[in-house]
Amino acid sequence: MEMLDPDLLKTFLAFVDAGSLAKAASTVGRTPSAVTAQMQRLEEIVGEPLLIPQGRGRGLTPAGEDLVGHARRILAVHTEAWLALKGARAGGRIAIGTTQDFADHGLPDLLRAFAASHPRVRIELRVGRSLELGAALQAGQIDLAIIMRHAPSPDETAVISEPMLWLCSEKGLAARSEAVPLALLDPYCGFREAALNALDAAGRRYRIAAGSASLAGLRAAVDAGIALTPRTRRFAHSGILEAPADLDLPPLPMADFAIRIGREAPRPARDLAELLGDGLTLPS
């Protein structure tokens, strides 16, 4: 009996969560052809087709649907064992910096698992903006940072790519006008630049209806229906969702976030960075 390779299962779940082989390839850092070869190898091990043509893409066969739950449980046990072995003798302190997006969505469950398996490691969390956290990492004030990526950096251990979306209140805009009302973080902000560039390129008029130094300010403005904001789907909860198509907004680029590690970061911080690189991908 051939064993199910965790790497193959990870790629399989990347396809399930992303909805396409191309997106799965981006998630696991492989070429589309390599992902296709991995899926073919997994089908050989299972002995049945897992994917079938569906429209322009592919869907799951009944066997593929059955495998999803097993794959998630296998990888969860794999992660639990890895954490337990890594954390058995680890001690010290890890200072983590993250943007609010990840502090709200994705990071808490992973930190909980890490803390439970590393009881002697003291975790300190700092939430802020990417520019500030990048400077803190360079100064040695934090060991690990999850921040927006503007260019490749030698200290990054993983890159998380997510589509930027136009987001608004689930109740819609309180008032519509020709100029697109925006809620934006104060400069410098990658989301701000992407939104303004997209609107300028499309020839759309806009106005800054709300400016803020924090995501809490943006959330208040968007939730009230005063403005739209460009973020990822991590921001879309508690009454905020993707803007409707009839607003005819221009497409936005991908948002890249890097997990970066400090020069003097202790071994547990490097283990945590590896865990975050595997676990922070947001299902589509």
Position 87 pLDDT exceeds 60: no
- Residues above pLDDT 90, as percent of the chain: 38
Q: Are residues 171 and 219 in the same domain?
A: yes
CA distance 61 to 188: 47
Q: Are residues 142 and 198 in the same domain?
A: no
Domain with 269 in it: what CATH number? 3.40.190.10
Whether 265 is covered by a domain: the verdict is yes
CA distance 110 to 239: 25
Q: Are residues 188 and 155 in the same domain?
A: no
Question: What burial letters (b/e) apply to 190-225, b meaning 16+ CB within 10 Å?
Answer: bbbebbeebbeeeeeebeebbbbeebebbbebbbeb
- pTM of the complete model beyond 0.75: no
Whether 247 is covered by a domain: the verdict is yes
**pLDDT score, position 283:** 53
Q: Are residues 201 and 260 in the same domain?
A: no
Q: Are residues 147 and 115 in the same domain?
A: yes
**pLDDT score, position 214:** 86
Whether 166 and 230 have beta carbons less than 8 Å apart is answered as: yes
Mean of pLDDT over the chain: 87
Domain that holds residue 212: 165-252
User: What is the tens place of the pLDDT at every residue in 137-184?
Assistant: 999 999 999 999 988 889 999 888 888 999 999 998 888 888 999 999
Within 8 A by CB and 6+ apart from 104, the residues are 234, 235, 237
Position 132 pLDDT exceeds 60: yes
- Type of residue numbered 22: A
**pLDDT score, position 198:** 96
Stretch 77-104: mean pLDDT, rounded?
Answer: 77
**pLDDT score, position 91:** 60
Q: Are residues 10 and 73 in the same domain?
A: yes
Per-state percent for the chain, helix, strand, coil, to nearest 5: 45, 25, 30
- Token pair, residue 117, equals 């398996």
User: Into how many domains does the chain fold?
Assistant: 3
Whether 210 is covered by a domain: the verdict is yes
Question: Strands 144-148 and 254-261, how do they pair?
Answer: antiparallel
CA distance 134 to 153: 11
Whether 1 is covered by a domain: the verdict is no
Q: Are residues 13 and 77 in the same domain?
A: yes
Spatial strand order in the sheet of 144-148 = 121-127, 92-98, 144-148, 254-261, 156-163
Residue 149 CB neighbour total at 10 angstroms: 19
**pLDDT score, position 284:** 45
Of 85, 116, 148, the last residue of a domain is: 85
∠ CA 222-219-211, nearest 5°, is: 80
